[in-house]
Amino acid sequence: MLEVQEVSKTYNPGTVTEQCLFDKFSLSVEDGQFISIVGSNGSGKTSLLNIICGSIPVQSGDVLVGGESISRKKDFQRYITMGRVYQNPALGTCPNLTMLENLSLADNKGKSFGFSRGVNKKRINYYRGELEGLGLGLEDKLNVKMGSLSGGQRQAVALLMATMTPLNFLILDEHTAALDPKTAEVIMQLTNKIIREKRLTAMMVTHNLRYAVEYGDRLLMMDRGQVVLDRVGAEKQSTSIDDLLTLFNKISIECGN
Amino acid sequence: MLDLLVSTLIQGLIYALVSFGVYITYSILDFPDLSVDGSFPLGAAVTAVLLTRGCNPYLTLLAAILVGALAGLCTGVIHVKLHVRDLLSGIITMTALFSINLQIAGSNLTVGRSVDTIFTAGPTMALFGGLSLTNRKLVVALIIAVAVKLLLDAFFATKAGLLLRAVGDNAFLVTSLAKDKGNVKLAGLVISNALVALGGALVCHETRSFSATMGTGQVVFGLATVIIGVALFRRFSFVKGTTAVVVGSILYKLCIAVALDLGLPPNMMKLITAVLFLLVLVASGRKGEEIIHA
């Protein structure tokens, strides 16, 4: 279980642009839960993910995994049991390394990076199988540099890499936002498949209300650092895009947008 | 003419060590490391002092590697732990090293003819005693350059090497792999400056001298050779980066040798260097950085 306890986050403290985003914000996530998070820009969705991952510091509060505080752990230490896919497909892979080299790196996560061979030839068939599972014809491109693949292909490989080793959490930060509608759909389906097959706990920030409604078993809507809608299970299943849109518009009007 | 060619080749092979170092920081780590201008003469200073004190010439190379690694560690700690920008970290180390080099070896130090260098010491003579001094220098320089190249190639193929290449390419990924990107960068800077200092040591063996100003322009030299090499072999992806920079280094030294042979005054060297560098950048059609990352 992941618990965010009374976290307060203020941007630019002590300056004229000081802005309080979270004031004693709390949230708990059950193991195996797949949460989709929606909300307007600046509502705190990505900040929440960054706080969980340790990418940004907080003023107060605690983040617990399985009852243990991870607040003192640096970002890279938290990633031992976390995977993250970013909005920008370029962030999930190394463009100048081949796909094989990229996959080998991901495969070795959690182990030491010593002086043994970087690419384990015995694993190539396993990689091929995983790539075939993506259904994008990438299994023949193992020796191609990542940089020469399309955004959608890179994002698919990034997803594969992020989930290759055992994880407690998968963090998806608008990971379909930079893709064309068709590719986004493919990546979203793949995401769902991987999360269900590996029984991952996942948090997905998205601007696509349909994805938020269709996928996941809990739905959060955030606004100005607060959860304004939280629906789980059957209640979530009965939520429609129209419901979300109505609430979204109401919030926007209140904000004066 | 042949003499000129051979001596150029020796120069190119010895200075290739600097190119390897700059290749690691600039091309692989994406770190503009200016400490090279200080770690190069540092290697030479330590070597010159040790040689004049009667130290085993082969051991001086090891000493140079160690002090170079230390210089790289300095730059790395300033950047990674003290959060100073990459360019400035290098400048700080380079500036500090200038005084340190003066402390170690003074402004000039000549190694006497009676002192053995790696080109004249017993083991070298036992192997290549039949060759003239020039040819012996060529063979030894070739062996060292090729050995370092092969070692680097082998290293880049290991897991540690892969991680080093990843950190310059996409530091986010290294963090995602639960590794401290700062430590990986630090390791890269250590290796790079160790190689550069080894280059300085070899130059000291070859010329039997150290001068406090010998480091000036080494960064530019390194960058130029990396960019020449990489641009030259851009279409031949099977040619490794390490091979490309050795060729870059030899070509660069050839250009300088030809310019000097045509009667260019040595005082104009740096100007020619700058012009040559600019020409290479323009001729390859893109900005330096993009060539490397193409």
Please state the domain count of chain A: 1
What is the per-residue pLDDT across B132-141, written as a single tens digit (0 to 9) for each? 899 999 999 9
Contact list, B165 vs chain A (CB under 8 Å) = 94, 96-97, 101
A88 in Cβ contact with A178 (< 8 Å): yes
Closest residue to B170, CB basis, from A78, A93, A109: A93
What is the per-residue pLDDT across A153-184, written as a single tens digit (0 to 9) for each? 999 999 999 999 988 889 999 999 988 888 89
User: For position B48, what pLDDT does the model report?
Assistant: 96
Q: Is B260 contained in some domain?
A: no
d(CA B130, CA A148): 52
Q: Is B291 contained in some domain?
A: no
Model confidence band, residue B287 (pLDDT cutoffs 50, 70, 90): very low
Q: Which residues of B lie closer than 8 Å to A, measured between beta carbons?
A: 155, 157-163, 165-166, 169-170, 172-181, 293
A248 or A80, which is more confident? Answer: A80
Contact list, B187 vs chain A (CB under 8 Å) = none
Nearest CA in chain B to A96: B169
Please state the domain count of chain B: 1
CA neighbor of A106 nearest in space, from A87, A88, A133, A131: A131
* B36–chain A nearest CA distance, Å: 25
Q: Is B208 contained in some domain?
A: yes
Q: Is B236 contained in some domain?
A: no
Nearest CA in chain B to A92: B173
In 10 A of CB A98, how many CB atoms? Answer: 18
Contact between B176 and A162 using a beta-carbon 8 Å cutoff = yes
d(CA B119, CA B139): 9
* B156–chain A nearest CA distance, Å: 8
d(CA A50, CA A53): 5
Contact list, A84 vs chain B (CB under 8 Å) = 176
> Which residue range is the domain that position A20 belongs to?
2-255
d(CA A184, CA A79): 25
Contact between A106 and B177 using a beta-carbon 8 Å cutoff = yes
Could you tell me which residues come within 8 angstroms of residue A87 by beta carbon, excluding any fewer than 6 positions away? A173, A174, A175, A177, A178
Burial of A95 (0-12, 13-18, 19+ CB in 10 A): middle
d(CA B14, CA B10): 6
ipTM associated with this complex: 0.88
Contact list, A83 vs chain B (CB under 8 Å) = 176
Burial of A81 (0-12, 13-18, 19+ CB in 10 A): middle
What is the per-residue pLDDT across B215-240, written as a single tens digit (0 to 9) for each? 998 999 999 999 989 888 888 878 89
CATH code at A27?
3.40.50.300
Contact list, B173 vs chain A (CB under 8 Å) = 91-94, 105
Contact between A94 and B163 using a beta-carbon 8 Å cutoff = no
d(CA B88, CA A150): 36
Contact between A116 and B159 using a beta-carbon 8 Å cutoff = yes
Q: Is B289 contained in some domain?
A: no
> Which residue range is the domain that position B171 belongs to?
2-214
DSSP codes, chain B: -HHHHHHHHHHHHHHHHHHHHHIIIIIII----TTHHHHHHHHHHHHHHHHHTT--HHHHHHHHHHHHHHHHHHHHIIIIIS---HHHHHHHHHHHHHHHHHHHH-SEEE--TTS--TTTSHHHHHHHTTS-HHHHHHHHHHHHHHHHHHHHHHHHTBHHHHHHHHHHH-HHHHHHTT--HHHHHHHHHHHHHHHHHHHHHHHHHHHTEEETTTTTTHHHHHHHHHHHHHHHTTT-TTS-HHHHHHHHHHHHHHHHHHHHHTT--GGGHHHHHHHHHHHHHHHTTS-HHHHHH-
CA neighbor of B185 nearest in space, from B198, B199, B169: B169
Instruction: Convert A163-197 to b/e letters by CB count within 10 Å (16 or more is b).
Output: bbbebbbbbbbbbbebbeeebbebbbebbbebbee
What is the per-residue pLDDT across A233-247, written as a single tens digit (0 to 9) for each? 888 888 888 888 888
Model confidence band, residue A16 (pLDDT cutoffs 50, 70, 90): confident
Contact between B177 and A96 using a beta-carbon 8 Å cutoff = no
Number of A to B CB contacts under 8 A, please give it.
84
* A129–chain B nearest CA distance, Å: 22
Contact between B162 and A75 using a beta-carbon 8 Å cutoff = no
Closest residue to B175, CB basis, from A79, A110, A119: A79
Mean pLDDT of all residues in A15-40: 90
Q: What is the pTM of this model?
A: 0.90
Model confidence band, residue A95 (pLDDT cutoffs 50, 70, 90): very high
d(CA A135, CA A43): 35
Q: In the block, which residue shows the tokens 């100073």?
A: B84
What is the per-residue pLDDT across B44-60, written as a single tens digit (0 to 9) for each? 999 999 999 999 999 99
Contact between A115 and B158 using a beta-carbon 8 Å cutoff = yes
